Structure 1
Amino acid sequence: MLKGSIVALITPMNEKGRICKFSLKKLVNYHVKNGTSAIVSVGTTGESATLNQSEHIHVVMLTLEFSDGKIPIIAGTGANATKESISLTKKFENSGIAACLNVTPYYNKPTQEGLYQHFKSISENTELPQILYNVPSRTGCDLIPNTVIKLSKLKNIIGIKEATGDLSRVNKIKQKVKKDFILISGDDCTFLDFIQLGGNGVISVTANIAAKKMQKICQLANEGNFKKARLINQELEILHQSLFIESNPIPIKWAAKKINLILSDKIRLPLTKISDNTKITLIHALKNAKIYKKEEKNDFL
């Protein structure tokens, strides 16, 4: 179930910075229609850092409601305090979510033993499936393969989102974990190579606006048809790169508004609205990906 193209969903807001239920429902419907495998609600791309806990829970539960059982929902539940992550995780028990995505603690830079004890404590305090999330460029700490292998032996740690872009890690982890341990790329630029090396899919930013193409690429890759998968992915390569010119999710929110998937690209401080130069680059990338044409109002629903 949790493989293929999984979207790291943006959290749409209105111009006052409040959650936009209309746009969120539209996004969920878009992913159901276009075959996205699952939705990550309130991860990094969903602005988890600037939502308070009440808002965080509200967005996840709205996403669950709007999905109506048609697509699995993964809740972002990471924090840099173990007790906080446990508390947030427990809020979703018996809610219907498929799993939790738990990022490595950020800022306080724990040792590998600290990381092991952190995830072990969460695992011991919930029955919900846990997906580890390693993104050292954001968090300042790296969950190395040996620690991942050790954690994979715990009862409900079912996989990892590996967002270093280091493709050598796929084999290092895959060789020493159970066959059903899920390996998911967290890097759109290298995800296809990741799958070819033995990964199961991607948690994607690009999928927010190119859901059908990302789903098709993953489907072809999982069928072993990498030649055709690469031809489709070539159309998205400039977009993959352009969506990270400024801090995620600044560009993806603007792009989603540009193609009429959300009403506003409002983002919360300390992130700011997109620069004019990045808009120009993104327009080129959207056209190259055949997602946007000048003066065309796109509504994919």
Structure 2
Amino acid sequence: MHALSALITPFKPDLSVDENAYASLIERQIRLGMDACVPVGTTGESATLSHEEHMHCIEIALEVCKSKGVKVLAGVGSNATSESIMLAKFAQKAGADALLCVSPYYNRPTQQGLFEHYKAIAHSVEIPLILYDVPARTGTQIAVETAVKLFNEVPNIVGIKEASGQAGRLVDFAHLAPQMQIYSGEDKLNHIIMSSGGVGVISVTGNLLPDKLSALVQADLKGDFATGQQIHNALHEINGALFCESNPIPIKACMHLTGLLEHLVYRLPLVPPSHEHMRFLETILEKYEVLK
């Protein structure tokens, strides 16, 4: 798994999950070059999905991806360890290839708490688990030392999605655990992480421009960093624009504006972008070719 999108979850006007639209968006991801999908991560508004909806989204992704030989990295994060274990067991039984688990939000556990949380989840399954560090959203950072300890002591913890914005952590990981798989979780740093030993990206921008993200990743994996840098530079404006408001507000708006998403629907407390930001996104989108 190298080029992945953190999938949005489309809703109907009645706020139910739009299953047909979800399957269609995943098919587009595969058609345009992404080699794995990430259902119900944080970009998928997993925090506002019921357990039943969460599990069904994993099932839809698996149904679409498995028929095309594409891997699924299922989101199983929660601020309750027991819930993450339940989701992890379900995802493994359903056929997921690996798990992505965001650190517990709101609770603000200690580093020992984080270690025990992830160890318990990983021990409940046999498939690989990737840590997900995004302290700006969760309130707690997975310290480099904690991540390395988990990697060294728990066999099926294989890597981390880095969305901390702290590029210096890459140096620490390379020194302390050179075999640990590092995925970029911040589109503004995709090329930097990839050219510094990263194995892939788990992208928000990839929902909109999967062809461009796939090309960037493939270039960097081949060591063609000049091409990777060129693609990354071309994506700079959209990478920034997609965070003009809290994710996934802007990405869903952009997909609606480009006709990829029929209904622009969020679940509270998320709401559509402001009028100013919607106009801003329209202006940015004029600079990009969005393939259907």
TM-score range, shorter chain: over 0.9
1:178-189 map, 5 Å? 179=179, 181-189=180-188
Please identify, of 62-71 and 23-32, the stretch whose mean Cα deviation from structure 2 is larger.
62-71
| Number of aligned positions between the proteins | 290
Q: 1:23-72: per-residue Cα shift (whole Å, max 9, x none)?
A: 11211111111110211100110000100101000111011112224311
1:249 equivalent to 2:248? Answer yes
Give 1:254-293 correspondences, 5 Å limit. 254-291=253-290
State the partner residue of 2:233: 234
Percent of matched pairs sharing the same residue:
38
Bigger drift between 19-28 and 51-60 goes to 19-28
| Native 8 Å contact 1:236 1:288 kept in 2 | no
- The answer for the alignment partner of 1:106 in structure 2 is 105
Deviation of residue 257 (structure 1)?
A: 1.5
Q: What is the distance in 2 between the residues matched to 1:176 and 1:50?
A: 36
CA drift at 1:93: 2.2
CA contact (8 A) 2:144 2:169 kept: yes
| Displacement after TM superposition at 1:73 (Å) | 1.0
Aligned to 2:161: 161
Find the partner of 2:31 among 28, 33, 39: 33
Q: Tell me which amino acid in the other structure corresponds to 1:203.
A: I
Aligned residue type for 1:31: Q
Q: C-alpha separation between the residues in 1 aligned to 2:87 and 2:53?
A: 12
Give the distance between the partners of 2:6 and 2:132, measured in 1 at CA: 12
User: 2:63 and 2:228 mapped to 1: Cα distance?
Assistant: 33
Question: Which structure 1 residue ranges, 4+ long, deviate > 6 Å from structure 2?
Answer: none
Q: What is the Cα deviation at residue 178 of structure 1? A: 5.4
In structure 2, give the amino acid aligned to 1:66. V
User: Match of 1:131, as an amino acid?
Assistant: I
Q: Which residue of 2 aligns with 1:12?
A: 10
Q: Per-residue CA shift, 1:75-111, capped at 9, x if unaligned?
A: 1101111111111111122322111111111111111
Contact 1:26 1:261 in 2 (8 A): no
Q: 2:64 aligns with which of 55, 60, 66?
A: 66
1:66-215 equivalent positions in 2, closer than 5 A: 66-67=64-65, 68-153=67-152, 154-177=154-177, 179=179, 181-215=180-214
Tell me, yes or no, if the aligned pair for 1:235 and 1:288 is still in contact at 8 Å: no
Pick which of 86-95 and 11-20 moved more: 86-95
Give the Å deviation of 1:276: 1.3
User: 1:52 pairs with 50, 53, 57, which one?
Assistant: 50
Aligned 8 A contact 1:235 1:289 in 2: no
Q: Which has the higher helix share?
A: 2
CA shift for structure 1 position 290: 3.2
Q: CA RMSD for the aligned pairs?
A: 1.2
TM-score scaled by length of structure 1: 0.93
| Highest RCO, 1 vs 2 (Cα 8 Å, sep ≥ 6) | 1
Work out whether residues 190 and 232 of structure 2, in 8 Å CA contact, stay in contact via their aligned partners in 1: no
d(CA) in 1 for partners of 2:282 and 2:139? 32
Structure-2 separation of matches of 1:142 and 1:194? 18
Q: Distance in 1 between matches of 2:272 and 2:241?
A: 15
Q: Which amino acid aligns with 2:9?
A: T
TM-score (norm 2): 0.96
Structure 1: runs of 5 or more not aligned: 292-298
C-alpha distance after superposition, 1:152-192 (max 9, x if no partner): 0211101100101111111211222252x310011001111
Distance (Å, rounded) in 2 between the aligned partners of 1:93 and 1:239:
34
184 and 58 in structure 1: CA distance in 2 versus 1, 3 angstrom threshold: same
**Alpha-carbon offset, residue 264 of structure 1:** 1.1
Q: Displacement, 1:271?
A: 0.3
> Does the 8 Å contact 1:64/1:97 carry over to 2?
yes
